[in-house]
Chain A
Amino acid sequence: MKVTFQIWRQDGPTDKGRLKDYEVDGLTEDMSFLEALDHLNELLVLKNEKVIAYEYDCREGICGQCGIFINGRAHGPHANMTTCQLHMRSFNDGDTIVVEPWRAQAFPVVKDLIVDRSALDRIIEQGGYISAKTGTAPEANSIPIGKDVADKAMDAAACIGCGACVATCKNASAALFTSAKINHLNSLPQGKPEQHRRVLEMTKQMAYEGFGHCTFTGACEVECPEGISIVNIAELNARILKARLLG
């Protein structure tokens, strides 16, 4: 199949950037979207041009490193899927596909389709952990945790940190990301001792990094590859109130 990619090219953070057209032939429906870009890059090398910079690592939807805005949607046309899981069978022969980086104030463009998502790491730094040193743990079965609690914690813990929730949000809010980590840890007995501090400090960092506020449009849960529910944000709001009163 043959498609035209309109790809965002930007040399570095200070470059203005522009969309550039690339007509690519010889693609097959079995190819993943990233393999199609790999193919385009090989063609560029053969023409002695610089390759397009984009990110990926595991290519199986779990590492969270890939993340491209495709035809105006985070991770492309399907809901709850990563860019690396997208295949060319989702497009038609002759299509024009617009390919852009994540856009958010807190995610500055590094080069072409690569953005800097270290703001998410810094939110985790502020409390996305349980302060227990190696060697201090009690016997694992000494604290029973009901299946429903463990399952709910797991639902929230599944976040892959790709940033699609931020990219798709009109406010560029990181509320889904932050709430998922907080709800994962705060719902478990091991996470209780630090629960209020965790809520206050992680949300403070979220605002400091320049992420917007959540206005409950629900766009984030549509694009989240792990299908993390927006209910997490509602729960976080309750936790914020509680933390302010008790924390």
Chain B
Amino acid sequence: MLNAKVPEGKIEEKWRNYQAQSRLVNPANKKKLKVIVVGSGLAGAGAAATLAELGYDISCFCYQDSARRAHSVAAQGGVNAAKNYQHDGDSVWRMFYDTLKGGDFRSREANVYRLAELSAPLIDHFTQQGVPFAREYGGVLVNRSFGGVQVERTFYARGQTGQQLLLAAYSQLNKMIRARKVEMFTRHEMLDLVVIDGKAKGIIARDLQSGKIRRFAADAVVLATGGYSRVFRLSTLAIGCNGSALWKAHKRGAFFASPSFTQIHPTALPQSSEAQSKLTLMSESLRNDGRIWVPKTKGDTRKANDIPEEERDYYLERRYPSFGNLAPRDIASRAAKERIDAGYGIGRLKNAVYLDFKHAIERFGMETVNDRYGNLFTMYKKITGIDAYTEPMQISPAAHFSMGGLWVDYELMTTIPGLYAVGECNFSDHGANRLGANSLLQASVDGYFILPNTINNYLAQALKEEHETTEHPEFSKVEQEVKEHIDHILAVNGCKTVDHFHRELGKVMWQECAMSRNKSGLQKAIGQIKKIREDFWTEVNVTGHSNELNTELEKALRLADFIELGILMCTDALDREESCGAHFREEYQTEDGEAVRVDDKYAFVSAWEYSNGDFKLHKEPLDFEFIQPSVRSYK
């Protein structure tokens, strides 16, 4: 039975009650306890630095050449916090409500409230770390709005907020590396988890430079490995982002929650060719001032600027008058897909819609628009060669954020004692759809504020137990399995590339398990992915060896896990016979195409257990004690 360990008391008191009752570790004893942190993004670097400041002995791992590359760096728009600086009616309660509603009532109330509660101190923290947030002339902090809310609570540093927050976390991490409290392993990729007597006790990692397989023992393991939307291949994620650490943990016993809840971001650059490797995101903040439209006539071949005002369909403003262009992401993406599928798409491949700044420039002037979005316009021009000041941007939906992830309790611990998951790689706060600018928030709050308060509760016990070393037979066993897995891939010696299979997987996932899903499509997809898996293991060709830097091998190992994860995602989407947030089942919609949630049957978190290649469903019921779920409307 899943126990979320939500503390007693009123929602405002739960976190305080938890902290008051949680066990602590004496400062002198902390250095005897070793914690592994996998990932160096906002959640990972924040956790590693803070745990090191508390005195724990930390090892931190990342696959990139430097901790500063983690994909938190790419978040553009901002970070939300209930500071109510704008005096526009914001509060912790309102932020809690917006986030819960934004997630279509498929997240745990207590976690969401804590996220909102800890948002304000996070802004204080980052300001003190030197993040150059945008300021008014008078020197106070500025805010802007983001999708799905009606207050201005988003803090930002130009269009590079993620970069600035990540660099602050990276700086703090470096401070602790210099203090020799953190040992940093760059170019190391976790390939498996070591579980001894039911508890997480270490990892097996591959040194990507030498190819050497190495063992690392610890008293607790923290996964901060980010999202897995590269399962679609084309996504807004970095090319190296992967789901392997999660998948290995899942296979070792960690439950995987709501794996199919994937956010499709409405404003990415459209795909232009088969060879494309990446869909670049254009910040949601652009929707603050940009207006989205398509021509009213199907297949209109005129240039955007030649289409008069009355022949443009501002479909978000039409369908959702109260939120307009700031409708939440799932709704904006689906609305774009509806127009594109109906034949109104624009661009060479008719797969895009316009995002137009003409009115904003007329209203605020070129200078203001440049000040707000200048770097995004520059980026757009670098990639497309088009000047968005004079003609509208072309944008299209793209796979983005994983709301799903390892199931965690209130302490952010997975179903394997001693294994924690923080940031995007867990499932907890965003339900079935994440609000813009809540991602940086959740990653940071998990890493800086929550985990360093909850991990003591476990480590206090671990202190009394024997510290396992890498000499334990379980380490040899898992290391052997990892080596055999690598040898197996290298031995296939087929005739197709890793990328070939990734493209095949991506097509199936995008077709059947993205913005809109149905029973027969998902059933078909599971069969297709199983076939891809079979073909992969008989036809893939990975050149080079295991004992050298081998980028092709890295890709192959990640893809092997993505293929299996794809099956679980489709299984999850098939099981949930309702539409909620980003999970839109075509069978469950109103006449005008809005999602129909089925609360009496599906008000639970799906947590999947791996058992011999199959998946067993466990349910964590969602009891809404403080807010009654309502029909989510943005009309």
Assuming A53-B551, A60-B280, A138-B128, is B238 touching A147 (CB within 8 A)? no
Knowing that A58-B73, A116-B65, A129-B172 touch, tell me 12 more A-B residue pairs with CB under 8 angstroms: A28-B273, A28-B275, A30-B272, A42-B499, A117-B65, A121-B66, A128-B171, A141-B85, A150-B133, A154-B157, A157-B157, A160-B163
A89 contacts B543, C-beta separation under 8 Å? no
Number of interface residues of B (CB under 8 A): 82
Closest residue of chain A to B133 (Cβ to Cβ) is: A150
16 A-B pairs in the complex with CB atoms less than 8 angstroms apart: A45-B497, A45-B498, A53-B549, A59-B280, A62-B163, A87-B383, A89-B385, A111-B549, A116-B65, A117-B66, A121-B67, A125-B175, A134-B125, A134-B172, A140-B141, A158-B158
Say which one of A31-39, A164-172, A211-219, A236-244 lies at the interface with B. Answer: A31-39
Contact of A157 among B132, B172, B549 (CB under 8 A): B132
A150 contacts B71, C-beta separation under 8 Å? no
Closest residue of chain A to B383 (Cβ to Cβ) is: A85
A110 vs B211: C-alpha distance when bound (angstroms): 13
Please indicate the chain A residues that have their CB under 8 angstroms from the CB of B68 in the complex.
63-64, 121, 161
Contacts of A103-134 to chain B: CB distance below 8 A: 110-111, 114, 116-118, 120-121, 124-126, 128-134
Contact of B167 among A140, A146, A150, A157 (CB under 8 A): A157
- For the complex of A and B, 10 pairs with smallest distance between CB atoms: A144-B139, A129-B171, A137-B128, A154-B132, A153-B132, A137-B124, A59-B278, A57-B238, A140-B127, A150-B135
B128 contacts A132, C-beta separation under 8 Å? yes
A132 contacts B277, C-beta separation under 8 Å? no
Closest residue of chain B to A161 (Cβ to Cβ) is: B68
Assuming A28-B273, A117-B66, A125-B178, is B240 touching A57 (CB within 8 A)? yes
Contact of B175 among A62, A131, A146 (CB under 8 A): A131
| Residue A61 at the chain B interface, CB threshold 8 Å | yes
Please indicate the chain B residues that have their CB under 8 angstroms from the CB of A48 in the complex.
541, 543
Please indicate the chain A residues that have their CB under 8 angstroms from the CB of B630 in the complex.
none
How far in angstroms is the closest Cβ of chain B from A161? 6
| Residue A46 at the chain B interface, CB threshold 8 Å | yes
Number of interface residues of A (CB under 8 A): 79
Please indicate the chain A residues that have their CB under 8 angstroms from the CB of B67 in the complex.
121
Please indicate the chain A residues that have their CB under 8 angstroms from the CB of B277 in the complex.
32, 34-35, 38, 59
A130 vs B129: C-alpha distance when bound (angstroms): 6
Contact of A140 among B83, B138, B170 (CB under 8 A): B83
Please indicate the chain B residues that have their CB under 8 angstroms from the CB of A121 in the complex.
66-68, 174, 186
> Please, what's the 1-or-0 string for B67-93, where 1 marks a CB less than 8 Å from any CB in chain A?
111110110000000010100000000
A130 contacts B123, C-beta separation under 8 Å? no
Closest residue of chain A to B163 (Cβ to Cβ) is: A62
| Residue B305 at the chain A interface, CB threshold 8 Å | no
A129 vs B177: C-alpha distance when bound (angstroms): 12
Please indicate the chain B residues that have their CB under 8 angstroms from the CB of A133 in the complex.
50, 53
Contact of B238 among A32, A58, A124 (CB under 8 A): A58
| Residue B495 at the chain A interface, CB threshold 8 Å | yes
Please indicate the chain B residues that have their CB under 8 angstroms from the CB of A4 in the complex.
none
> Please, what's the 1-or-0 string for A14-36, where 1 marks a CB less than 8 Å from any CB in chain B?
00000000000000101110110
A157 vs B137: C-alpha distance when bound (angstroms): 20
Contact of A124 among B71, B170, B240 (CB under 8 A): B170
B138 contacts A118, C-beta separation under 8 Å? no
A140 vs B133: C-alpha distance when bound (angstroms): 10
A46 contacts B497, C-beta separation under 8 Å? yes
A144 vs B276: C-alpha distance when bound (angstroms): 45
> Please, what's the 1-or-0 string for B115-148, where 1 marks a CB less than 8 Å from any CB in chain A?
0000001011101111011111111110000000
| Residue B552 at the chain A interface, CB threshold 8 Å | yes
How far in angstroms is the closest Cβ of chain A from B556? 10
| Residue B307 at the chain A interface, CB threshold 8 Å | no
A224 vs B189: C-alpha distance when bound (angstroms): 30
